[in-house]
Amino acid sequence: MDNIAGKKSALSWAVNIAVLALVALWVFPTLGLLISSFRTGDQIASSGWWKSMLPTEQNLTLRTAGGDEAELIDGLYTVSGNLFAHEGVEQLEISAYGTSSRDVGAYAPGETVDMGDGEIIAVEANGDYVYSSEEEMSGRGQRVFVTAEVAPEFTLQNYDNMLFDPNNIEGMSKAFFNTLTVSIPATIIPILVAAFAAYALAWMDFPGRALLIAAIVGLLVVPLQLALIPLLKLHNEIGIGKGYLGVWLAHTGFGLPLAIYILRNYMVGLPRDIIENAKVDGATDFQIFTKIILPLSFPALASFAIFQFLWTWNDLLVAIVFLIDSSGETTVMTKQIIELLGTRGGNWEILATAAFVSIAVPLVVFFAMQKYLVRGLLAGSVK
């Protein structure tokens, strides 16, 4: 009803809540991975990422000082001190403690516990303890299980390992540069080829034009799965084999129909007067194209460039068929992640970080140039 100016829908709060729920549902998965990539492996394994913002309860196993430090006080061998200081860990606020692994939170801090056999222990909330025994103690101290609140903690260590550790063979830095090497030429080259073709299809009159346009619309939906084997055979026969050249050519070929389609649709809409005036003034087609059409078509060029960049950056299939050979030197990020999924299926700190390294660049491109992406979508879908 809000289509009529001045009338506000009574249900607007419901709409707001519904959108909020929808957005939350859509962002939640990515957020989980993002937060996980800033947690240590132990943190990820011990609690769900959605609890990472709240302080977590953690169970620690600490030891009192050993028998050598015991003093004889009132006929009892006694050790005292601070549990955290003794183990050299950060001091925490203890909420419960226990002396048996079967019941780690049996006693409240400050409680004095008779452990039997004449052994008595008391642990304060800050970790101070007094432990005494009627008999002489052994060399190692008594085990104490404490439950403590740990403040939320995040680390950049995962990214450091993934990107900047030269000894990490599972690292992403090489794959990152390989992906960049694949996607930039594969984005730029088809644009130019397509722009000329689109101009011819939009503004030049020649027999067979309509047929060509129809053919390009048809090629838009041909699954690239069909091209894998014939082209791999072709590349091997003409000596390209598996490598960057092959993957650039393949991406160029696969990207062309969409490029021509988007650019032609855009160029057709440019005002006829400009082009005809230029022709009357004696400009050649080549001049019209480079001086008038190309600058005016910038929005369409940008939309296709974003599409092609996202597609080549995110691609897996074309890369494993045309690029990655048995040496693995030319691996791309998507392939690297697949490998990690196989070998490091449970190590979420590694997987999450690797995935986010590969997702980060497309996300930046997406948020920076969303306007062009939307425009391209609207122009590029067959109507």
Partner 1 sequence: MNPALQGLLTIVIGVGGCVAYFYFSNIILDKVLFPPRGPNAGRNINRANMIRPWLFLLPALLALGLYLAYPVFETLRLSLTQRVRGGGYEFVGLANYQQMLREPKFWEGFSNNLLWLIVVPAASTAFGLLAAQLTDRIKWGAIAKSLIFMPMAISFVGAAVIFKLIYDTRPSGQEQIGVLNAVWLGFDGGVGSFIWLRLVPGLLLLALAAGAGVLAWSLIKPVIGREGRSPGVIFGALRILGAVLMAGVVFVMLRQTLAVFTTEFPYGQPQTWLTIPFWNNFFLMIVLIWIQTGFAMVLLSAALRGIPEETVEAAIVDGANPFQIFFKIKMPQIVGTIVVVWTTITIIVLKVFDIVFAMTNGQWETQVLANYMYDKLFRANDWGVGSAGAMVIMLMVTPILIWNVYNARKEMR
**Binding to partner 1 in span 298-317, by CB under 8 A:** 310, 313-317
Q: Which of 252, 220, 373 is nearest to 304 (CA)?
A: 373
Applying CB under 8 A, which of residues 62, 162, 231, 262 lies at the interface with partner 1? Answer: 231
Positions in 148-177 near partner 1 (CB under 8 A)? 177
- Identity of the residue, 109 or 190, whose beta carbon is nearer to partner 1 in the bound complex: 190
Applying CB under 8 A, which of residues 70, 162, 200, 301 lies at the interface with partner 1? Answer: 200
- The CB-of-16 to partner 1 minimum distance in angstroms stands at 6
For 265-278, letters b (16+ CB in 10 Å) and e give: bbbeebeeeebeeb
- The CB-of-150 to partner 1 minimum distance in angstroms stands at 14
Applying CB under 8 A, which of residues 6, 116, 166, 223 lies at the interface with partner 1? Answer: 223
181 binds partner 1 (CB under 8 A): yes
Q: Which of 321, 364, 358 is nearest to 174 (CA)?
A: 358
Listed in sequence order, the DSSP H helices in the chain are 12-36, 41-46, 83-87, 157-159, 173-203, 209-219, 228-237, 244-268, 272-280, 285-287, 294-296, 298-314, 317-322, 333-343, 348-368, 370-380
- The CB-of-244 to partner 1 minimum distance in angstroms stands at 6
226 binds partner 1 (CB under 8 A): yes
Q: Which stretch binds partner 1 (CB under 8 A): 66-74, 84-92, 134-142, 192-200?
A: 192-200
Applying CB under 8 A, which of residues 106, 219, 278, 296 lies at the interface with partner 1? Answer: 219
Applying CB under 8 A, which of residues 77, 131, 145, 199 lies at the interface with partner 1? Answer: 199
Positions in 22-51 near partner 1 (CB under 8 A)? 22-23, 26-30, 32-33, 36, 44-50
Using CA atoms, how far apart are residues 98 and 83, in angstroms rounded to an integer?
Answer: 13
236 binds partner 1 (CB under 8 A): no
Q: Are 333 and 285 in contact (CB under 8 A)?
A: no
245 binds partner 1 (CB under 8 A): yes
Give kind and range of the element (H or E) at residue 82.
Answer: strand 76-82
351 binds partner 1 (CB under 8 A): yes
Q: Are 251 and 188 in contact (CB under 8 A)?
A: no
Applying CB under 8 A, which of residues 76, 104, 220, 296 lies at the interface with partner 1? Answer: 220
Name, in order, each residue with C-beta under 8 angstroms of 100's C-beta and a sequence gap of 6 or more.
Answer: 106, 145
Backbone angles phi, psi at 315, to 5 degrees: -70, 145
Q: Which stretch binds partner 1 (CB under 8 A): 81-89, 120-128, 254-262, 270-278?
A: 254-262
285 binds partner 1 (CB under 8 A): yes
Q: Are 261 and 336 in contact (CB under 8 A)?
A: no
- Identity of the residue, 46 or 126, whose beta carbon is nearer to partner 1 in the bound complex: 46
Name, in order, each residue with C-beta under 8 angstroms of 150's C-beta and a sequence gap of 6 or more.
Answer: 55, 56, 57, 58, 92
Listed in sequence order, the DSSP H helices in 37-109 are 41-46, 83-87
- The CB-of-122 to partner 1 minimum distance in angstroms stands at 30
x/- letters, 359..378, toward partner 1 (CB under 8 A): x--xx-xxx--x--xx--xx
Positions in 132-151 near partner 1 (CB under 8 A)? none
Applying CB under 8 A, which of residues 108, 135, 286, 298 lies at the interface with partner 1? Answer: 286
Using CA atoms, how far apart are residues 178 and 331, in angstroms rounded to an integer?
Answer: 7
Positions in 72-131 near partner 1 (CB under 8 A)? none
225 binds partner 1 (CB under 8 A): yes
Q: From the centroid of its chain, how far is CA 204?
A: 45
227 binds partner 1 (CB under 8 A): yes
